[in-house]
Structure 1
Amino acid sequence: MATQEIRLQSTLGGYTATGKLHSLSVWFILALRLMMGIAFFQSGVDKVLSGSFNAAGYLQNAPTANGSPVADLFVTMGETAWFVDFVNIAVPWGEVLIGLGLIVGFMTRLAAFWGAFLMLLFYLGNWDIAHGYINGDFAYMLVFLSVAAFGAGRILGLDARVEQYEVDGQPLVERYPWTRYLLG
């Protein structure tokens, strides 16, 4: 096994953090991407196939019962018919598409962003700080953000190929730099 030292460095707000990655890190990053992809794909497919997913009861009751700081927002969403209809389609199919994107490594950053967004909503809706502010929903949100930050779609994923697809003789991401926010 080839070992190669990869150094990381980032400056934010005047503070610089540095670190080194182990050569096995790539496999753990891939595992995180696949784990979240399979979990979301399975959850979405279960909801789609059951045909009985309805978010109204959850939106109107769970956040209030949990003492969520944004419970009133969730109740309002749950009492708005068109929004509930939207959520009843967006959540199951969103989970399916996020899962597929992560599994095949296509539009990974976009999929991870929406996965993190859903996990933030689940965190706020499932509010329970009896054991602290960090729970599974919060941890999964950070996993999604890590998958995006590491460009996990480039690891045995389609994003690596799509980024190099040539448009007018240039790789796609050089021709259209904004695509880096979707791919990787």
Structure 2
Amino acid sequence: MGSWLRSSKVAAVILTILRVFVGWKFLSAGWGKIVGPEPFDASGFLKGAIGKASGEHPAVQQWYASFLENFALPNVELFNFLVPVGEVLIGIGLIFGVFTRFSSFMGAFLNFSFLFAGTISVNPNLIIIEFILIASATNAGRFGIDYYLKPLFDKTTSRLRNSHEVGSA
């Protein structure tokens, strides 16, 4: 299965469809926050997540609520910028297949952040797809900009490896 996922052209087509789907989800979410009629403000979301950390069956773990209360909320302006811009960049990266594994990793990181804050929504579904994209190595970017970047990275990696071997001889 792993070999097929990492090398098959059929898998690359399926991965491209998944990649563009997840990318569109991120791009549309981030773009809506940037150009929406009201300026994006994460403070209501953060306060709601902090409130979900109490009660008999808390949806948010206390350690994460402490992070939100003591770091995220006091720095809400930073999060008001990072969340929508991050969503847009992740979306662009996935749609165009540029730095696909990194974009998938950052998407999963953001989805996990939303999950930790007590928001289920589509986050678990996107995380599963993002893990599949990460596991596929470079095949998820075969039909994207990564296809053209890979030879450059391979050449640079080879040079670095050779210079390290020469220096240690």
Counterpart residue number, 1:75: 69
Inter-CA distance 175–113: structure 2 relative to 1 (3 Å threshold): farther
Q: In the superposition, relative to structure 1, how do residues 57 and 173 fare at CA in structure 2: closer, same or farther (>3 Å)?
A: same
TM-score, with structure 2 as normaliser:
0.76
8 Å contact from structure 1 (residues 105, 152) kept in 2 = no
Q: Which string of whole-angstrom CA distances, capped at 9 and with x for unpartnered residues, describes residues 44-65 of structure 1?
A: 1111102511111111223423
Contact 2:50 2:65 in 1 (8 A): yes
TM-score by length of 1: 0.70
Instruction: Pick one of 46, 58, 72 that aligns with 1:59.
Output: 46
The 1:60–1:20 alpha-carbon spacing in structure 2 relative to 1, beyond 3 Å, is closer
- CA offset at residue 39 of structure 1? 0.8
How many angstroms does 1:155 deviate by? Answer: 2.0
Aligned residues: 152
Aligned with residue 113 of structure 1, among 96, 105, 110: 105
User: Aligned Cα RMSD in Å?
Assistant: 2.9
Greater share of helix: 2
Letter in 1 for 2:149: V
**Bigger relative contact order, structure 1 or 2, given CA contacts below 8 A and separation 6+?**
2
Matches within 5 A, 1:8-23: 8=2
Question: What is the deviation of 1:19?
Answer: 9.2
Structure 1, gaps ≥5 residues long: 1-6, 10-17, 129-134, 178-184
Paired residue secondary structure (2:115): helix
Which residue, out of 24, 42, 45, partners 2:28? Answer: 42
